[in-house]
Amino acid sequence: MGRHVEIPGLTLGAEDFEAARRNVAPHVYHTPLLTSRSLSEASGFDVRLKAEIFQRGGSYKVRGPLNVIAHLSEEERARGIICSSAGNHAQGVAIAAKLYGIEATVLMAENATRSKIAATEGYGAKVILHGSIWDEANEKALELVESHGYTYVHPFDDPRLIAGQGTLGLEVLDDWPDAEVVVIPIGGGGLISGNAMSLKSRKPDIRVFGVESSGAPAMKRSVESGELVILERVDTIIDGLRVKRVGANTASVVSRFVEEVVTLPDEQIFEALLWLMTRAKLVVEGAAAAPVGALLHRLVDAQPGSKVVCVLSGGNLDVEQLRGLRWN
Amino acid sequence: MGRHVEIPGLTLGAEDFEAARRNVAPHVYHTPLLTSRSLSEASGFDVRLKAEIFQRGGSYKVRGPLNVIAHLSEEERARGIICSSAGNHAQGVAIAAKLYGIEATVLMAENATRSKIAATEGYGAKVILHGSIWDEANEKALELVESHGYTYVHPFDDPRLIAGQGTLGLEVLDDWPDAEVVVIPIGGGGLISGNAMSLKSRKPDIRVFGVESSGAPAMKRSVESGELVILERVDTIIDGLRVKRVGANTASVVSRFVEEVVTLPDEQIFEALLWLMTRAKLVVEGAAAAPVGALLHRLVDAQPGSKVVCVLSGGNLDVEQLRGLRWN
């Protein structure tokens, strides 16, 4: 993979991210950048962990929707927002809506677990169960956009949302201006798109790496082929990484602003998850462990001693999944 | 329970703890005092968590041995130190010895798990397996003290060790001078003894609560009866809380410097452990979850809104134990 892929598309600059920050920062935690001597020793880098696990709702997902809402007119806000998700995006949308005092509707498939429904309702959103898979729930959401005038909040490809997610990177550079490399998990690509651009808008020579599960390399293949690849099947049990297709915007941004997308199998990601629990005493979800796995398996091409940030994107570990893991 | 119990005994003052701090601080992390909005909301207090889970070796246990070694003569140091433990004390002794560049020997029963032996050896200690239970391993350790001139490091009742553990409390007051209540788990009583005295040496009106498993209330019964009670049986699976008898010194200190010892069953402690994992995203061991369980179950007698510190004493969770828990 390299810079030979030229996909024109979305570019956001320093002023976009500063504006996003004014919209987002009053409502979120500036999460800590933790040092990890163990991980530094194990990887050979000087590693810090952006602990977004401590964010409201347990992941970065509240940042983007806050910026989307900030861009809505009074009339649009009065009609409310909608999304389809049974994961962190649902909670991010619900929390952001509550913070702005507007209504949120969340579509989930009928097999959504009771705990995820309760968590989203707990933040004040209205949950509607529809269909047997996400696509059906999402179709219903789009119908409701038509009939009720809700604003649809895309989980990763809306430029306003991407700008909001990118506020994380500004905090990283505030706390560690010397950071040289940032490693970020990729699902649909919203997090890495926002942050590759926000980081480079402030520090052009910083290097950004993305990490996917090798069972769902939709971004890697899209960037390599220069067009949006839709995977026929995905083979990962990790929620935040399980996507068949990334976004047109996010693929374009990653092609132009990310040094390399690396992949590793679920097994190595879960190994990193357990490593973080036993060594760093932090609870992370699968996607958040992927950058640490990439360091432990020497997939990030950087000089020994480099100042590296791993983004721990969320801590909403599915505890039933944890129970099934092999512990060494 | 109350102040009617008058057990004369060990008292350490401000100068003892300042001296201990000079010995200990250069070698340990000043661990963070984390705010927890979730726990504050759930408990009705203003709660902060002393995150000793991030300490060297994963628990507070390195503090005491560092102070013990600092008090040894050059000749004693040359002969080395010894202890008997398959838990955090073993690692604390091993790390402290390594930091001072002296030799440590650790006795464990022959059924000690490979991982605990490896962890202790990993810190540079020599591990000797002897006997089928701790008492037999400990007898062997005392024999080696006689034959080799090692200094025996008691797990909780040595005044030098107690002073070292008490350095944790000084950090708490540095970070939060307004703290009003501190809640601390009790096994043998070393941690709470050191910190009840160090906290009150600096801030006499601070209130200290201890927490035991109701399956092993050796401290509560000793303090209530005014004499050292040896339990006939203990009924807890939580390592750091599973003791048949506390120390003569620690019981004396708790009688005089601790407001109240409360107890709760293992089930409620593990519930608190899972609460910390899912809500606070922190990995703690059973003993460390006990103070949080005490808050969640309203066992700590303080005014709503009080400024309360829970000491998360260690994060060395036995992952096999975790696997067996019920997740809600």
Predicted pLDDT at B116: 86
Q: Chain B residues within 8 A (CB-CB) of chain A?
A: 53-54, 58, 274, 277-278, 281-284, 315, 317, 319-320, 322-323, 327
How far is Cα A120 from Cα A57, in angstroms, rounded to an integer? Answer: 10
Query: Does residue B2 lie within any of the structural domains?
Result: no
In this predicted structure, the answer to whether residue B6 has a pLDDT above a threshold of 80 is no
State which of A99, A120, A149 marks the end of a domain. A149
Tens-digit pLDDT profile for residues A52-91: 999 999 999 999 999 999 999 999 999 999 999 989 999 9
State which of B149, B174, B197 marks the end of a domain. B149
Q: Clarify whether residues A104 and A188 are in a common domain.
A: no
Predicted pLDDT at B327: 46
Host domain of residue A42:
14-60+160-323
Q: Clarify whether residues A197 and A264 are in a common domain.
A: yes
Predicted pLDDT at B141: 97
Q: Are residues B58 and A319, on separate chains, in Cβ contact within 8 Å? A: no
Mean pLDDT score across all residues of chain A: 94
Spell out which residues of chain A touch residue B53, defining contact as CB-CB under 8 Å: 281
Predicted pLDDT at A86: 87
The pLDDT-based confidence of A5 (bands split at 50, 70, 90) is very low
Candidates B278, B317, B320; nearest CB to A319:
B278
What pTM was estimated for this model as a whole? 0.92
Query: Does residue A310 lie within any of the structural domains?
Result: yes
Contacts with A87 (C-beta within 8 Å, 6 or more apart), sequence order: A116, A239, A240, A316
Domains: count for chain A: 2
Q: Between the CA of residue B165 and those of A210, B42, B181, B283, what are the distances in Å?
A: 43, 29, 18, 21
Predicted pLDDT at B318: 72
Report percent pLDDT > 70 for chain B.
95
User: At residue A196, what are phi and psi to the nearest 5 degrees?
Assistant: -60, -45
State which of A130, A149, A168 marks the end of a domain. A149
- The answer to whether B240 and B285 have CB atoms below 8 angstroms apart is yes
Predicted pLDDT at A318: 72
CA-based nearest residue to A268, from A184, A325, A310: A325
Query: Does residue B155 lie within any of the structural domains?
Result: no
Spell out which residues of chain B touch residue A317, defining contact as CB-CB under 8 Å: 277-278
Spell out which residues of chain B touch residue A321, defining contact as CB-CB under 8 Å: none
Spell out which residues of chain B touch residue A58, defining contact as CB-CB under 8 Å: 281
Q: Clarify whether residues A134 and A195 are in a common domain.
A: no
State the sign of the Cα–Cα–Cα–Cα dihedral B229, B233, B238, B239: positive
Query: Does residue B74 lie within any of the structural domains?
Result: no
- The answer to whether A208 and A258 have CB atoms below 8 angstroms apart is yes
Q: Are residues B319 and A282, on separate chains, in Cβ contact within 8 Å? A: no
Q: Clarify whether residues B283 and B231 are in a common domain.
A: yes
In this prediction, residues B12-34 reach a mean pLDDT of 97
The CA-based diameter of chain B, rounded to the nearest angstrom, is: 56
Query: Does residue A7 lie within any of the structural domains?
Result: no
Q: Clarify whether residues B54 and B90 are in a common domain.
A: no
In this prediction, residues B9-26 reach a mean pLDDT of 96
Number of C-beta neighbours around residue B1 at 10 A:
15
Mean pLDDT score across all residues of chain B: 94
In this predicted structure, the answer to whether residue B69 has a pLDDT above a threshold of 60 is yes
Predicted pLDDT at A98: 97
Q: Clarify whether residues A133 and A215 are in a common domain.
A: no
Candidates B54, B277, B323; nearest CB to A283:
B277
Query: Does residue A97 lie within any of the structural domains?
Result: yes
How far is Cα B193 from Cα B9, in angstroms, rounded to an integer? Answer: 12
Angle B150-B151-B154 from CA coordinates, rounded to 5°: 130
Set B36, B43, B59, B61: catalytic member:
B61
- The answer to whether A277 and B283 have CB atoms below 8 angstroms apart is yes
Tens-digit pLDDT profile for residues A127-145: 999 999 888 999 999 999 9
In this prediction, residues A151-162 reach a mean pLDDT of 97
How far is Cα B175 from Cα B184, in angstroms, rounded to an integer? Answer: 17
Q: Are residues B281 and A53, on separate chains, in Cβ contact within 8 Å? A: yes
State the sign of the Cα–Cα–Cα–Cα dihedral A99, A100, A105, A109: negative
**Which value, to the nearest 10 degrees, does the dihedral of the CA atoms of residues B17, B21, B22, B25 take?**
180
Q: Clarify whether residues A45 and A191 are in a common domain.
A: yes
Look at A310-314, B2-6, B136-140, B305-309 and tell me which has the smallest mean pLDDT. B2-6
Candidates B54, B283, B320; nearest CB to A283:
B283
Q: How near does any CA of chain A get to the CA of B294, in Å?
A: 22
Q: Are residues B281 and A283, on separate chains, in Cβ contact within 8 Å? A: yes
Q: Clarify whether residues B47 and B176 are in a common domain.
A: yes
Candidates B277, B281, B319; nearest CB to A278:
B319
Active site residue B313: yes
Query: Does residue B42 lie within any of the structural domains?
Result: yes
Q: Clarify whether residues A49 and A103 are in a common domain.
A: no
Spell out which residues of chain B touch residue A284, defining contact as CB-CB under 8 Å: 281
Q: Clarify whether residues B201 and B52 are in a common domain.
A: yes
Active site residue B61: yes
Q: Are residues B278 and A283, on separate chains, in Cβ contact within 8 Å? A: yes
Predicted pLDDT at A328: 38
Tens-digit pLDDT profile for residues B125-178: 999 999 998 889 999 999 999 999 999 999 999 999 999 999 999 999 999 999
Q: Are residues B277 and A284, on separate chains, in Cβ contact within 8 Å? A: no
Angle A243-A24-B48 from CA coordinates, rounded to 5°: 95
In this predicted structure, the answer to whether residue B293 has a pLDDT above a threshold of 50 is yes
CA-based nearest residue to B196, from B296, B76, B311: B311
Chain B interface, mutation test: which of A27, A281, A326, most B Cβ atoms within 10 Å? Answer: A281
Please name the residue ranges forming H helices in chain B: 14-24, 37-43, 63-70, 74-79, 88-100, 114-122, 134-148, 159-165, 167-175, 190-202, 218-225, 248-257, 266-275, 286-296, 319-323
Query: Does residue B69 lie within any of the structural domains?
Result: no
Q: Clarify whether residues B139 and B284 are in a common domain.
A: no
Q: Are residues B274 and A319, on separate chains, in Cβ contact within 8 Å? A: yes
Q: Are residues B282 and A277, on separate chains, in Cβ contact within 8 Å? A: no
Q: Are residues B281 and A284, on separate chains, in Cβ contact within 8 Å? A: yes
Type of residue found at B198: S
Domain CATH number, residue B170 = 3.40.50.1100
Q: Clarify whether residues A175 and A43 are in a common domain.
A: yes
